[in-house]
Structure 1
Amino acid sequence: MHPMNGDGVGISNPVELIFMGTGTSSCVPHVDCLTRPPEAKPCHTCLAALTPEGKRNARRNTSAVVRLRGAHSENVTILIDCGKSFQSAAVEWFPKYGLRRIDAVLITHAHADAMNGLDDLRGWTLHGAIQPFIDLYVSMNTFKEVQRAFPYLISKEYASGGGDVPEFKWHIIEEGVPFEIGGTGIQITPFAVHHGRIFTPAPPVDMPITPSSLSPASTAASSPKVPGTPIHNGDLPTSPPTQAIQPYLCFGFIIQDAFTYISDVSHIPDHVWAMFESRGMTPPVFVLDCLRILPHTSHYGIEDSVRTARRMKAKRTYLLGFSHDLHHDDWVTITEAAGGEKPEGSKLAMLDKYGLRGLHEADTVWVRPAFDGLRVIVHPDGSVRDEAYL
C-alpha cells in the first residue's frame, strides 16, 4: 500500500471515479410512467429524464468505473458491477471518457442490477476484440449464483447456439481480506453490509466447475497471484433450511484509500464500522446508497444516508441508487440542507413536505446526489474535484 500523506490518503497519482449508473434496479425513467394515460397524474422525474435539461434524472443501474495508475505506471480500469443496463451505459460513457480495456470487474452481490450484464462483456473478449479475458472478483455466494443463473459463464460446455460467450477468470474474495488486482499494486478491501434479508435458501447447484476458471484472489501481502486449489462442485457448501431471518450480504469496497463504495445497504454492522475506524483515516470520497426519502427493507432512506455520511466524515459523500420519487434538483436541495445551507421559499416548503427541515440543524456534511456520467477525481494531496459541484 502506498504510504499515507498528511491527509491520510495513500495514493501517489490522481484516481478517477466515473458513475456509469446511479439508479435503482428499475432504472429511471419507468416505462409505466411514460405510458400513463392523459388523465393519470404525471411523473415529473421520469418525464424530465427525456429532456436535455433534465438528463440528470435518467439513471441506469448502479455501477462505476475507477481508473488509476498501477505500480508500473500502467493505466488500470476497474468496473464495479455489471448490471442490466451496463451495455447502454458503456456505449455512452466509455467513448466519452476514453475507456476501453477492463482490467478487473468487482461484483457487489448477485442481484440482477449488479450482474445481469456480464454476458455483454463478450464485446470485450470475443475473438480478443479488446482483450483475451477479464478478471472477475466475487464472493463465493455470488459465484454460486452466477453459476446457477448463467452456467455458461462458468463452464463453457454449457453454452448453446454458436457458443460465443465471454472469457472470464474468476477470483474468490472474502470479507475483510484485502487483495491486489493482478500485479498492479492496487489494493482493494472488501467488506460486507446488509442489503435486506434472505427469504429462503437457494437450492444447491448441481454442475461441475471448470477448474482453470477459478482461483482465490491474491491477498494484499502477496505478489502476483498464483492459481489456488480448484474448487469442484462437491466442495461447495450448501445452505441448510432455516426459519431464522438472515441478512442478505452485499460487498462494499475500499479502493486504494481514495474511495469507499457502498451501493446497496440497509445496515452497516458494527464490525465494519470498527474496520473503518481501525484504518485511522477517513476517505476523501464516500459513495453511499439512498433509494428515496423513507427507508426501505433493503436500502437506506435519506436520513439514514446523511447520518452515515456524518459518521464517516469523508470530504465528499455522493449518493446513488435513487428511485423516480424525486427530481434530481430536489435531491440537490435536500443534500445542500444537510451541508448547512438554509433553504427558503419553495425549497423550504419541499423540505417541510417530507419532514426534513431538521437536516440542516445537525453537524454539517458535504453530500450531493451523483448522476450518470459524473466524474470525480481524488488527487494525491487528498483534494477532491468533480465536474458538477463547486
Structure 2
Amino acid sequence: MDPILLTDKESSGAFWPVDGDSSLIFLGTGCSSAVPNARCLLQPSSPPCEVCMKSLSLPPEKNKNYRCNTSLLIDYCHGNRERSYILIDVGKTFREQVLRWFTYHQIPRVDSVILTHEHADAVLGLDDIRTVQPYSPTNDIEPTPVYLTQFAMESVAIKFPYLVNKNFKEGQEIRRVSQLDWRIIEGNSETPFASSGLQFIPLPVMHGEDYVCLGFLFGKRSRVAYISDVSRFPMSTEYVISKSGAGQLDLLILDTLYKNKPHNTHLCFPQTLDAVKRISPKRALLIGMTHEFDHDRDNKILAEWSEREGIWVQLAHDGLKISIDL
C-alpha cells in the first residue's frame, strides 16, 4: 500500500515541505457522529447520501471520506532522537483508529494523552488506552499521563470511576483496565505545560456560549495550533495565534462542521474560512467535518479559495501524516 503522506502536490497544487523528524498523524477528522452517518445507512434518502456511500466503497488507506472522531497523534522526535507519541483526544472511535492507523503507521504505544474537553467524542475511548499499553494482568505498569482541566476531571470521574478511583475495597478483585495518571492543567494561555517533553499552551475557546473547550498551541521551530471544537474565539486566544497578534502560525488545524448551515457550538465552513483569514496562518487544515463534505470536490473549492486569498487551506483526512519540524 502506498503511504498516505501529504508530501506531494495536492489538488491545490501546493507543496507541503517534508523537512522535520517529527510528524502529525490525523487519526480522525470527523464530527461526533462520524462518517458515514449511521442514519444515512439505516434510513437512506432518495437518492442515497453520496458521501456516506463513498465512505464505504474503498479501503481505509484510499478512503478520504471515512471520518472517525477528531483526534491527532503527535509523533515527537526529541533532540536525542528518542520518540514520544502524544495523543490529543481519545473519543468513541479510538479502538477503530488504533486498528486502522496505529497499525498502518506502525505506532507502538501512546506516551501521554491530552484532552480538549470531556464530551463523548473526546473521552469515551479512555478505556481502550490499555490496548496501547504494556500487558499486565495485575496492572503492574507505568500509568500513562493524561492532561485535562479540573472540570473535565470531575466529569471523567463520573463516566469512568474505575479508571480514577484506585482505592480497592477489601475483597475487591483486581481487573485489567487502563492505567492512567491524571494531571490537572489550567485552561488559560498564560499557563503552559509539558507533555512527553513537548510544551503546550492551552487555548480556551467557546464551544457554544455556555461552554469553554481547549485548543492547544505547540512547537518551537514550527508553531502549530490545534482547535477541534469551537464556535467563537475570545479575543485573548485569537491574539495568541494570529499573525497580527503574537505571531504567524505555520499550521492551523481548525474545526468546520457543516458546509452551509450554521451551528450553535461549532464553526461551519463560511465562519471557518473567515477565521482563517483573520488568523492568517501560513497553512490550514480543516477537521470535524460531517457527511456534507466530499473530500476531493471540496478541496478543489478550497484550492480556488487559497489561490484567491493567498492562504493554503485544505480538508484533512483520516490517516493523513505530515512531517514537521517541532
- Tell me if TM exceeds 0.5: yes
Q: Give, as a single letter, the amino acid of the residue that structure 2 aligns with 1:166.
A: S
What whole-Å deviation, never above 9, does each CA across 1:211-250 have from its counterpart, x for those lacking one?
xxxxxxxxxxxxxxxxxxxxxxxxxxxxxxxxxxxx3111
User: Where in structure 2 are there 5+ consecutive unaligned residues?
Assistant: 1-18
Residues of 2 paired with 1:331 and 1:131: CA distance? 45
Residue 274 of structure 2: aligned partner: 307
For CA contacts below 8 A with separation 6 or more, give which structure has more relative contact order.
Answer: 2
Indicate conservation of the 8 Å contact 2:226/2:252, yes or no: yes
Counterparts of 1:126-275 in structure 2, within 5 Å, are 126-127=135-136, 132-157=142-167, 163-174=175-186, 175-176=188-189, 177-182=191-196, 184=197, 186-197=198-209, 247-257=210-220, 258=222, 259-275=224-240
Task: Give SS of 1:156's match.
Answer: coil
CA spacing shift, 1:161–1:33, aligned 2, 3 Å: farther
Tell me which of 290, 293, 297 is aligned to 1:323. 290
Task: Give SS of 2:317's match.
Answer: coil
What whole-Å deviation, never above 9, does each CA across 1:79-123 have from its counterpart, x for those lacking one?
000000011101111122121121110100010000000000122
Residue 34 of structure 1: aligned partner: 41
Residues of 2 paired with 1:15 and 1:123: CA distance? 23
Q: State whether structure 2 residue 262 is matched by structure 1 residue 295.
A: yes
Residue 68 of structure 1: aligned partner: 76
Q: Give, as a single letter, the amino acid of the residue that structure 2 aligns with 1:320.
A: I
CA spacing shift, 1:140–1:49, aligned 2, 3 Å: same
Percent sequence identity is 33
Indicate conservation of the 8 Å contact 1:33/1:46, yes or no: yes
Task: Give SS of 2:63's match.
Answer: helix
Counterparts of 1:306-385 in structure 2, within 5 Å, are 306-340=273-307, 360=308, 363-379=309-325
TM-score by length of 2: 0.84
Indicate conservation of the 8 Å contact 2:231/2:266, yes or no: yes
Task: Give SS of 1:300's match.
Answer: coil
Q: Give, as a single letter, the amino acid of the residue that structure 2 aligns with 1:190.
A: P
CA spacing shift, 1:91–1:364, aligned 2, 3 Å: same
What whole-Å deviation, never above 9, does each CA across 1:172-230 have from its counterpart, x for those lacking one?
11121111225x3x211111100114xxxxxxxxxxxxxxxxxxxxxxxxxxxxxxxxx
Shift of 1:71: 4.5
Shift of 1:265: 0.5
CA RMSD of aligned residues (A): 2.4
CA spacing shift, 1:312–1:378, aligned 2, 3 Å: farther
Indicate conservation of the 8 Å contact 2:225/2:241, yes or no: no
Q: Give, as a single letter, the amino acid of the residue that structure 1 aligns with 2:286.
A: L
Counting matched residue pairs gives 296
CA spacing shift, 1:270–1:279, aligned 2, 3 Å: closer
CA spacing shift, 1:187–1:30, aligned 2, 3 Å: same
CA spacing shift, 1:158–1:142, aligned 2, 3 Å: farther
Larger Rg: 1
What whole-Å deviation, never above 9, does each CA across 1:5-24 have from its counterpart, x for those lacking one?
xxxxxxx9533110000000
Residue 21 of structure 1: aligned partner: 28
Indicate conservation of the 8 Å contact 2:136/2:176, yes or no: no
